[in-house]
Amino acid sequence: MCNEYSGYSNYPTWAVKLWMDNDEALFDTANKIASEHRDSAYAVGKAIQEYLEEWQDIPENGMEADIWQWAWGQVDWREIGELLIEDLEPEDDEPEDDDDEETDT
């Protein structure tokens, strides 16, 4: 069974990223976290996961808790970290491509 969903590894990963992209405050926070940890998709994903867990009203028991924990455990945090890093602007110290640079011939 293929779990891919809309270009993501699965539905829970897609849903988390969708919410992150469509909430301005969350989008800004996620990009700030990605900028701080841009060398490690794992570190970005882990930091985003921890931030969201503090921010969410997580059910403690019952059916909602079981479903929430299952879905949350399916989120591919590294994938989210990779996507956030890909969307960052290059750092000032990174050389930019100068393909349009004129040369003397």
The whole-number pLDDT of residue 92 equals 59
In a domain, 17, yes or no: no
The whole-number pLDDT of residue 33 equals 97
- Least Cα distance to 29 among 50, 15, 13 occurs for 50
Number of domains in the chain: 1
The whole-number pLDDT of residue 91 equals 76
In a domain, 5, yes or no: no
In a domain, 8, yes or no: no
Instruction: Please give the average pLDDT of every successive group of 10 residues along the chain, which has 105 residues.
Output: 84 96 96 96 97 88 93 96 93 57 54
The whole-number pLDDT of residue 90 equals 83
In a domain, 59, yes or no: yes
pTM for the full predicted model: 0.80
Q: Which domain holds residue 73?
A: 26-86
The whole-number pLDDT of residue 70 equals 94
In a domain, 99, yes or no: no
In a domain, 82, yes or no: yes
The whole-number pLDDT of residue 56 equals 84
- Least Cα distance to 48 among 36, 30, 64 occurs for 30
